[in-house]
Amino acid sequence: MAYGQTASGPEALPDAPDAQTQQTQQSMEGKQTKRILGVIPNFRSVSADQKLPPQSPKEKFVTATQDSFDYSAFIFAGALAGISMAQNSYPEFRTGAVGYGRYYWHTFADQAVENYMVEAIFPSALKQDSRYYTLGHGGFVKRTAYSFSRVLITRTDSGSQTFNASEVIGAGAASGVSSLYYPGRERTWTKVGQHWLTNVGLDGMTFIFKEFWPDINNAIFHQKQ
């Protein structure tokens, strides 16, 4: 090309806006943020196609602590305690400020016990990975089935798939421990079993929300972190 002559043709043009937008969307596909809606902790979610080294036992306990004592955990426990009190779930707790206090500390303790069992104690002992690995690709049904199945299937620290004993047995153990500080009439196998199934079911619904959070975030909120 002669001196002073400018290049022409498609190869000399910058990327078109549509192409840049498409590249940005692809780079954000399945990308998790540290918090959902800027408030809810999302520390255990791994972005789609991201490869991470296994967590050490110390890191698993740190994550469980973050989830248990994050400022949002106090807010969430307060909301659940209010709902339980309104439904008179435990008449022994009574009503008023004192009653609400009892509902609150029981709810907060339940959250913390399950977090440590499911995210730290059992994963460390069984060498399992308690993080949620986002699929991020495929149709709605496929991704929903995948995310809910994570209550039964997880990764080992070495990267292979295995039965999610940390979730299933850990949630059961947490329910058993929780029953120890509830009134005597609540310490039945039926109550413990109901609590166990509720915890596992809620975790499954949480996985589904985490799976589709990057899509919601990209489409509506456009959060970067």
CA nearest neighbour of 107 among 75, 147, 141, 134: 75
Span 151-176, average pLDDT:
97
Q: Is residue 75 part of a domain?
A: yes
Residue 205 has pLDDT above 90, yes or no: yes
Gap between the Cα atoms of 56 and 156, Å rounded: 12
Phi-psi label, residue 37: left if phi above 0, alpha if psi -120 to 50, beta otherwise: left
Query: Considering the entire predicted model, what is its pTM?
Result: 0.83
Q: Which domain holds residue 176?
A: 57-212
Give pLDDT, residue 28.
61
The verdict on residue 22 lying in a domain is no
User: What torsion do the CA atoms of 121, 125, 131, 135 make, to the nearest 10 degrees?
Assistant: -140
Residue 22 in this model has a pLDDT that exceeds 70: no
In this prediction, residue 224 carries a pLDDT of 59
Residue 23 φ/ψ, nearest 5 degrees: -65, -40
Q: What angle do CA 61, 200, 211 make, to 5 degrees?
A: 80
- Please give the tally of structural domains in the chain: 1
pLDDT of residue 6: 46
pLDDT tens per residue, range 81-134: 999 999 999 999 999 999 999 999 999 999 999 999 999 999 999 999 999 999
Residue 193 forms part of a structural domain: yes
Rounded Cα distance between 7 and 129, Å, is: 54
**38-95 pLDDT, tens digit each:** 899 999 999 999 999 999 999 999 999 999 999 999 999 999 999 999 999 999 999 9
Confidence of residue 21 (pLDDT cuts 50, 70, 90): very low
Phi-psi region of 150 (alpha: psi -120 to 50; beta: other; left: phi over 0): alpha
**In a domain? residue 24:** no
Query: Is 10 part of a structural domain of the chain?
Result: no
> Could you tell me if 218 and 194 are in contact, meaning their C-beta atoms sit under 8 angstroms apart?
no
The backbone torsions φ and ψ at residue 129, rounded to the nearest 5 degrees and listed phi first, read -100, 115
Q: For residue 88, tell me if it sits in a domain.
A: yes
Which of the two residues, 1 and 170, has the higher pLDDT score?
A: 170
- pLDDT bin (cut points 50, 70, 90) of residue 29 is confident
Q: Tell me whether residue 97 is in a domain.
A: yes
Q: Are strands 45-46 and 132-133 parallel, antiparallel or unpaired?
A: parallel
Q: What 8-state DSSP symbol labels residue 49?
A: T
Q: By C-alpha distance, which of 6, 3, 132 is closest to 63?
A: 132
Whether 135 maps to a domain, the answer reads yes
